[in-house]
A and B are shown apart, each in its own frame.
Chain A
Amino acid sequence: MRKFQIAIIGGGVIGSAIARELSKYFLDIIVFEKGSDVASSTSKANSGVIHSGINSPPKSLKARFCVEGNRIFHQLAKELSVPIKWTGKYVIAKNEEEEKELVKLKDIGIKNKVMGLRLIETDEVNFNEPNIKCKSALWVPSAGITLPYQLTIALAENSVMNGVKFLLETIVIDIKKNNNYFEIKTNKGIFKSDFIINAAGLNCIDIVKMLEEPDFRVYPCRGEYLVLDKKYAFLIKSLIYQIPQEKFGFLGVHITPTVDGNILLGPTSEYIAEINDTRTTKQKINILLKEAKEIIPIIKDKAVINAYSGIRCKIYPPEYDGISDFRIENSRVNPGLINLLGIESPGLTAAPAIAKEVVKIISKNIVLSKKTKFVSKYDKYIKFSDMTNERKSKMINKNASWGRIICRCENVTEAEVINALSNPLGAKTLSSIKYRCRAGMGRCQGGFCTQHIVRIMGEEFNLDITKINLKSNKSNLFIGKTRV
């Protein structure tokens, strides 16, 4: 039975950010993730927005960590080579009623110390965003966009470089508290640890239940999205948000560009019964398209290349949604169990600030000493399509597989696929490749590259084709050979 000082449950953006922050210190850390890769749950299915902090109630943890997280991202994205764009955001008002709401939002923003907020007229909006219909808008310059899965992957893999142990496909089944340590039962054996960090997202309550009676409930709330083809990238440059107004379980469509040049429509907002019900529905798809067309009339149904959904971990009932907040606390009943509860939006933005908070909580219990040799830089997934021609030629000269395009839509090369497959976490699903090098993420959605990736998995990594999975360990791609 191996003993660790810190056991983190959950390899989402929160668990991974905490792992990386803690890996700056001399600590023995393990992370358990039940999925076949990190970012296999909510952290891959969100808007990828680095929020400014205008939407969270003043004095809340959400507001505090969001504003602080937003600030940290400037440095963090550089260290981890994660793409980020500070696009700014327009919250648009369609009529006078909504204009009043803009003023309120601006006041909240000022209270939360969000800089640069400005109410602007249609003309100015249209000067920058000619395709948007609105009466006026609130300009929020500090909002940005990033790639949430790539961020989570970089956080996790950088912590592995700094000594953290990550176990994938490892589910925490039960926990016992013995005198001064926890005994953690998983499908891969039993582990001991001094601290447990409960970063299990939607499952946070299950972890608590293993040790004590929870004083909260989880109200899963689904958000559906549509993804538009890159050729519509010209439509918007910034985030376009509407005044939040709850109608038919819908917030008013947000139109969000992604770093890669796609556009997201959504999310919707709908309380559902099951935490893993990530279905998309016809009804919401129709609403999303209809509302998006009201703001950008030239959007067509045929622009859609994909649909997905993510589930918010809300721990307050719907009627209290306006005041709900994160809970980040050391358990009173079982000190050493550090719970991160209700980390819904803006959890992605807040992640690096939350990680620092967790370090603070731990430092109250043990003396932390900083490593001098912490490696803060992470730059594994360089992209062929980002390179100058000179660099491309050099790379091909060194290794010819940089000259073999595998993904026709995103121009991903064989070298990048091999690189993605040799990730330090040992993730080997089709999705894990897609999230690391974009192969399969473009308009043909894997129609061309899948065969090449499967071939590489077989030839270069000796994987049995019947064991190749899409995402989870039960999502096999094939049933076998046609003939033996």
Chain B
Amino acid sequence: MEKLGCEKKLINVTNDVSVIGSGPAGIVAGISAREFGAKKVIIIDRNNWIGGILPQCIHDGFGIEEMGISLTGPEYIDKYVEKAKNLGITVMKETTVLKINNELEIFAVSRKGLMKIKSKSIILAMGCREKTRGNLIIPGDRPSGIYTAGLAQTFINLYNIMPGKNIVILGSGDVGLIMARRLKIEGANVKGVIEILPYPNGLPRNVVQCLKDYNIPLLLSHTITSIEGKDRINKVIISKVDKNKKPIPDTEKIIKCDTLLLSVGLIPENEISRNAGIILDDSTGGPLVNQYYRTTIPGIYACGNCLQVYDTVDLLSIHAKIAGKQSAKNAIKGKNHNNYAEKNIIVKPGTGIKYIIPQMINKTGIIDFSFRLEKPNKFSKISFELNKNEIFRGNLKYSNSTGIINMKVKIPNYSPKSILEVILNE
């Protein structure tokens, strides 16, 4: 147990369900927990606004599948925030969670002081952060003018600040694509989007709506091999890459610019999960969960981008609802009894599969799987093999991206310690 030595100094709170993060995942999960019977639900967020990343996503495209209309980020989240208010859910803003532990205690801090929050269930909904230049180890100088795409979006959309004029974007992730268009609209000269893969990384609709419609060049199978500029960035050197993503000699080209945006991937935010002893999946970057989105610590659930990086908010919300519902059930039942080690199936990504969620199952019946392929595939089949016996075979639609795929599969009776392997058959 952790030694505090000054319990009196802490503000103590007790809840049924505490949610960390007020993005769409946190709000939706919180609402669902309340609707399924949890009495006292609070949502904690370190920002001074509610909604996580959405208030800065002023473009539309949210809720298409879920609600059948295309909303902007702020519009989408407002619908839920309204509902949360009506249900009496408290949101604690400007409150940072520093630590959680396996006794389901949350240690947080705000301008009011340090807090200890006890809960019957905790939902992790911390979102994700962007990969930086350091993660890619791009060689060269270290000047100003290099931003992650999301940070540039924050400055433009929330602070009305223009980061630069002549822009190069590395990575064709959705945030980068959306920012290419956004910067163009603000009058910047977007010189191109550079992508190391032979196909774009973002959603096909974003490639069309953000690049093609605005005549912004997309350079596939290219990468930046050097950044130059002593004070502010003044150019990047790009190269073609081969099949193994290695730069091909003598294909270097110089692009002059004063700004480089990086849209090279998102990393689920799980420092507090890791420190609590929750086991993370190396491929998703998020916690290992079962079909109820419960992590390896009983009573702690995970959803949203801290579980896996979602392409759209729609599927994210559907999953967050389940996490919320289960956290409420757990809170009402009291102690969470079924521990992980007992009679479960381990789910493994096989050939061609990058990752799959849930990674563990401990019930029979219909299970909702979400997974990604290692690379885009044409008309292939996916088979689910329980202890080497195929229990399900699904057809994949043609796709030129590696978006999340959803499949419902009926799990039959099984013996303890079974293995379910998911394989791509071309």
Contact = CB atoms under 8 A, between A and B. Distances in A.
Interface in B66-100: 94, 96, 98
B96 to A, nearest CB: 4
Main secondary structure, interface of B, reads mixed
B26 to A, nearest CB: 16
A280 interface: yes
A76 interface: no
Contact of B133 (A278, A411, A445, A470): A445
Interface stretch (B57-65, B162-170, B334-342): B162-170
A282 B156 CA distance: 33
Interface residues of B, number: 52
A447 B130 contact: yes
A478 B163 contact: yes
A447 B129 contact: yes
Most buried by A among B159, B161, B274: B161
A135 interface: no
Contacts of B109: 392, 396, 403, 405
A481 B160 contact: yes
B213 interface: no
A116 interface: no
B380 interface: no
A305 interface: yes
Main secondary structure, interface of A, reads mixed
A476 B144 contact: yes
Contacts of A38: none
A458 to B, nearest CB: 9
A401 interface: yes
A404 interface: yes
B186 A482 contact: yes
B46 A408 contact: yes
B253 interface: no
A474 B232 contact: yes
B143 A470 contact: yes
B114 A445 contact: no
A333 to B, nearest CB: 34
Interface residues of A, number: 57
Most buried by B among A446, A451, A470, A482: A482
B381 interface: no
A445 B151 CA distance: 11
A27 B227 CA distance: 45
A447 B265 CA distance: 13
Given A393-B113, A444-B129, A481-B162, A451 B155 contact: yes
Contacts of B226: 279, 282
Contacts of B165: 479
A470 B186 CA distance: 23
Contacts of A392: 109, 114
Given A231-B274, A389-B9, A470-B143, A404 B134 contact: no
A396 B113 contact: yes
Given A411-B98, A450-B151, A393 B135 contact: no
10 contacts: A231-B274, A306-B134, A396-B113, A403-B111, A445-B133, A455-B159, A475-B144, A477-B145, A478-B163, A480-B162
Interface of B: 4-6, 9-10, 46, 94, 96, 98, 109-114, 129-130, 132-135, 137, 139-145, 148, 150-151, 154-156, 158-165, 186, 225-226, 230-232, 258, 271, 274
Given A411-B98, A483-B160, 14 more contacts: A231-B274, A305-B134, A307-B137, A396-B109, A404-B110, A443-B129, A444-B130, A447-B150, A450-B151, A465-B161, A475-B144, A477-B163, A478-B162, A481-B161
